[in-house]
Chains A and B, each alone.
Chain A
Amino acid sequence: MIKVDNLHRSFGDVRAVRGVSFAAPDGKITGLLGPNGAGKSTTLRILYTVLKPDEGHASIDGHDVVEASLAARRVTGALPHGAGLYPHLTARENIAYYATLCGIPRKDVADKVDSIIELLEIDEFAHRRTKGFSQGQRTKVALARALVHDPQNVILDEPSNGLDVMATRSLRRLILKLKESGRCVLFSSHVMQEVAALCDDIVIIANGQVAIDDSADGIRRKTGCDDLEDAFVEAIKTTEPD
């Protein structure tokens, strides 16, 4: 369960996030949708605790991301945008490194890594060094790495960026699997169709503000647009530029 309450964050003169609030419940997929530079990444980075908000609060399973950042990280698996792997380590070693860092007992690491490799269907290249991996392979390994400690909350920043159709489909299957197991999934995207196909809740962000927060049908109703893309454009108009 992720709760975001009135977050603000500026970088110099740029006010990237201006009062964002929403909640992402367990067992649901919440999509953060918005054009480039809307403040999606900044919001997510505050949630996985590498940035601190200037104002406002956010908590994960009740752990404040500033006051109890370590506890918040413990229940979260994060896939930052463009996450990199260690090219000299194999995919398996990359995952095992994170498993050990997350505090999984050393004797259980191998089993844990095996099961996540199976879940993400990356057995084929798990023993290879990650140097020269395709974007799809890299994303899957980075995702496996983020999920290896069984986090209740999963934060994915533009996970489908640069993936082909097949890879996008298997990513979608995985996100649905996570939802079925009762997890809270929060992911960002700028692709309307992707969000519409997956999400139970859609939070549209523009200019650092929440334009609309509802289900796909709710958004259609509120904006009066049948086409989601039109609805998206319509919703963005309701926010004011900085």
Chain B
Amino acid sequence: MRTAFTVFRKEVLDNFRDRRTLVSALLMGPLFGPLLFAFVINLSVDRTLSDEEQTLSVPVLGAEHAPNLVRYLASKNIDVADAPGSRADALEAVKLGTHDVVIVIAATFGEQLDSGMPAKIEVISDQANTTADREARRVLSALQSYNQELASIRLLARGVSPYVLQPLNVDDVDVSTPSGRSGLLLGMISYFFLFALLMGGMYLAIDATAGERERGSLEPLLALPVTRDQLILGKIAATCVFMALSLILSLASFFVAIKFMPLEKLGLTPNFGPDVLVKAFWLLTPFILIGASVMTLVASFTKSYKEAQTWLSVVLVLPTLPILIVSLLTLRPRFEFMFIPSLSQHLLLIDMIKNEPLDMTYVTTSVSSSLVIGVLLTWLCAKLYRREGLLG
């Protein structure tokens, strides 16, 4: 163990003097998350707030056939803009993205309305485009309420109560807490922490393996009267320390940065106090051993510093995969998920930020399974380090 400790001490000292390692571990990793998050938050604050207040300008083809409707739309903050010459042009314009939404009012509109027939009106939009989708929904809901208003007037004119058409009084009651809603957006936080953690140890992992070989310092090291297991253990331990350091810094920088984000404007109140900070650290710690051993493993397979860098940037995005899949399928936390590193940490962290009670069996499963995987990977690393081919 003395050998491993000597290697560990040397690697930590060596890398503390290496500007590249320091910048990536103590600056880039911890700052990348909060900065990107602040940017995204501000962007979505802008968009959410602007939606209802801003006047929407929609091209209407055949506006002259429905002057009352146009006035009604204006009262709903929807202005009529110049439309393309024909329905075909309108379809083309939406397809090309020149217009997000176009309303087409048929020439027969007034006539049909007068004769009590359903009057034809079209809303053309590309729903694959999120902005267009939102605008189309605004237009549709305005048309829907105009529809209802006309119906009520017609019924009243015939002496029938408009309630005939409203047998149900549906009220949408949302019980999600503000913290709960924040979970969606804050879901990306957990990846920032994992990213910062991996980034912190990346250069050390490269330096201790591919870098050492490229520099020519590996061969004399292996000719010393020490076992290779001890060497690799010391190196992985040093990588772990840098990862832990980077994780602590990124948690702290997030703690500070979140105070300056206009989250309450979005109705978000994430639970991110000092106690959560500490718990998050312990929750993520088991992932450090996995990160350190995977990075050392991958880097020791590569032929050069450059190649190691390329491969390790792939490792950097690897933890997103399970998170992404589960988010896309909108799966709820399940017991089986606690065996998957990065996913289990993500799910537990999100629950914590949402201020939901943590299931202790889930926590212990996540922690212990990640630790077991980490130990296995470290063992694999040591096995590979004994190979002769290590010297390249």
Contacts and interface: CB of A to CB of B under 8 A. Distances in A.
Interface in B334-355: none
- Count class of interface residues, chain B: 20 to 34
Interface string B210-233: 000001110111111111000000
B226 A84 contact: no
B313 interface: no
A98 interface: yes
B10 interface: yes
A205 to B, nearest CB: 20
Contacts, number: 74
B219 A83 contact: yes
B216 A84 contact: yes
Interface in B225-263: 225-227
Interface in A167-206: none
A140 to B, nearest CB: 14
Contacts of A74: 225
Contacts of B388: 50-52
B222 A50 contact: yes
A89 interface: yes
Interface stretch (B13-21, B62-70, B115-123): B13-21
B151 to A, nearest CB: 80
Q: What DSSP secondary structure best describes chain B's contact surface?
A: helix
B216 A86 contact: no
B227 A70 contact: yes
Q: Which among A73, A74, A85, A88 has the highest number of chain B CB atoms within 10 Å? A: A88
Interface string A129-167: 100000000000010011001000000000000000000
- Count class of interface residues, chain A: 20 to 34
A82 interface: yes
Interface stretch (A99-107, A210-218, A220-228): A99-107
Interface in A38-70: 45, 48-52, 70
Interface in B1-22: 2-3, 6-7, 10, 13-15, 17-18
B216 A83 contact: yes
A89 B17 CA distance: 8
Contact of A82 (B7, B10, B216): B216
Nearest to B18: A88
Given A80-B216, A84-B217, A88-B17, A50 B10 contact: no
Interface in A8-42: none
Given A70-B225, A88-B15, A98-B224, 16 more contacts: A45-B219, A50-B391, A51-B388, A70-B227, A71-B225, A73-B225, A78-B223, A83-B219, A84-B215, A88-B18, A89-B14, A89-B17, A97-B6, A101-B224, A102-B225, A149-B225
25 contacts: A49-B222, A49-B223, A50-B388, A50-B391, A73-B223, A78-B220, A79-B220, A80-B216, A80-B220, A80-B223, A83-B216, A84-B216, A85-B215, A86-B10, A86-B217, A88-B14, A88-B15, A93-B13, A97-B10, A98-B224, A102-B224, A102-B226, A103-B225, A146-B220, A146-B223
Interface of B: 2-3, 6-7, 10, 13-15, 17-18, 215-217, 219-227, 388, 391
